[in-house]
A and B are shown apart, each in its own frame.
Chain A
Amino acid sequence: QQPVQSPQAVILREGEDAVINCSSSKALYSVHWYRQKHGEAPVFLMILLKGGEQKGHEKISASFNEKKQQSSLYLTASQLSYSGTYFCGTAVSNAGGTSYGKLTFGQGTILTVHP
C-alpha cells in the first residue's frame, strides 16, 4: 500500500514554516523525500534510515519515527524556490536491508510559497 501524506496541500508566505507528514502501515527500513517542480523530474532531498542515519539537504530537515512508521519533513523559513510537490518514498524492511530502488511513493503534497 502507498504511504499516506498529509496535508495534501499547503500555502505559505515566504519565511513561514511547514511540516509534511508521511505515514506507512508497513515496517519501514528507509524513507526518502523528493521535490518535484511542475513538468520536471523529482529531485532528491533526504534519506532517513532505520537506526537514525540521515543523508540530505542542508536547509531541510526530517525525522523518522521507526515505532510509528512515520516520517516528517520540516521546511523552515520557506523560500519561493521551495514551491513544488513533495513526495515521500518508502522502502520496507527486509533481511538484506536493501530496497533495490524499489520505493513506494505517497500521493504527494503540493507546497505553494507566495512572496
Chain B
Amino acid sequence: NAGVTQTPKFQVLKTGQSMTLQCAQDMNHEYMSWYRQDPGMGLRLIHYSVGAGITDQGEVPNGYNVSRSTTEDFPLRLLSAAPSQTSVYFCASTPSRGRKDNSPLHFGNGTRLTVT
C-alpha cells in the first residue's frame, strides 16, 4: 500500500516556467489537499478537493491551479513560476467519515521546489 505519492521529489524552475506537481493516493480517500511549507510559517493550504470534479481555494491559491478528474489524482499546476513559490509542497488526503471529522491527514513525502 503506497499511500500518498508525490512526484517529483525535487525540481528547479526558472521564473516564468510552468510545471505540474503530481499527487496520487491509493487509499480511496475522498478529500485531498495541497499545502506549502515555508520556514517559520507552518503549512498553508493552497487548494483542496472534496471529491472528483470538486475543488476549492485555500488560503494561498494565487499562482496555482488544480483539477480533480479522478478520486486518485490531484495535480497542482504552477502557471508561471515566481521566486516566491520556492517552497516545499505537500499533498495530503483523508477519508470521508460522514459528518464526523475524526480522520487524520495522510501526507506525501513532499516536493522541494526552487524557482530561480
Contacts and interface: CB of A to CB of B under 8 A. Distances in A.
A81 to B, nearest CB: 19
Contacts of B96: 98
Contact of B42 (A2, A40, A47, A91): A2
Contacts of A44: 104-106
B43 A87 contact: yes
Contact of B105 (A55, A89, A98): A89
A102 B48 contact: yes
Given A40-B109, A41-B90, A104 B102 contact: no
Interface of B: 31-33, 35, 40-45, 48, 50, 58-59, 90, 92-94, 96-110
A70 B96 CA distance: 25
Interface string A67-100: 0000000000000000000010101000011111
Given A41-B107, A47-B104, A101-B31, 12 more contacts: A2-B42, A44-B105, A49-B101, A87-B42, A91-B101, A100-B50, A101-B92, A101-B93, A102-B33, A102-B48, A105-B42, A107-B42
Given A41-B107, A47-B102, A101 B94 contact: yes
Interface residues of A, number: 30
A108 B58 CA distance: 19
A58 interface: no
Contact of A55 (B32, B33, B42, B102): B102
Name the residue in B50, B96, B99, B105 with the highest tally of chain A Cβ atoms < 10 Å from its Cβ.
B105
A45 B90 CA distance: 18
Nearest to A87: B42
B107 A42 contact: yes
A34 B104 CA distance: 9
Nearest to A54: B102
A30 interface: yes
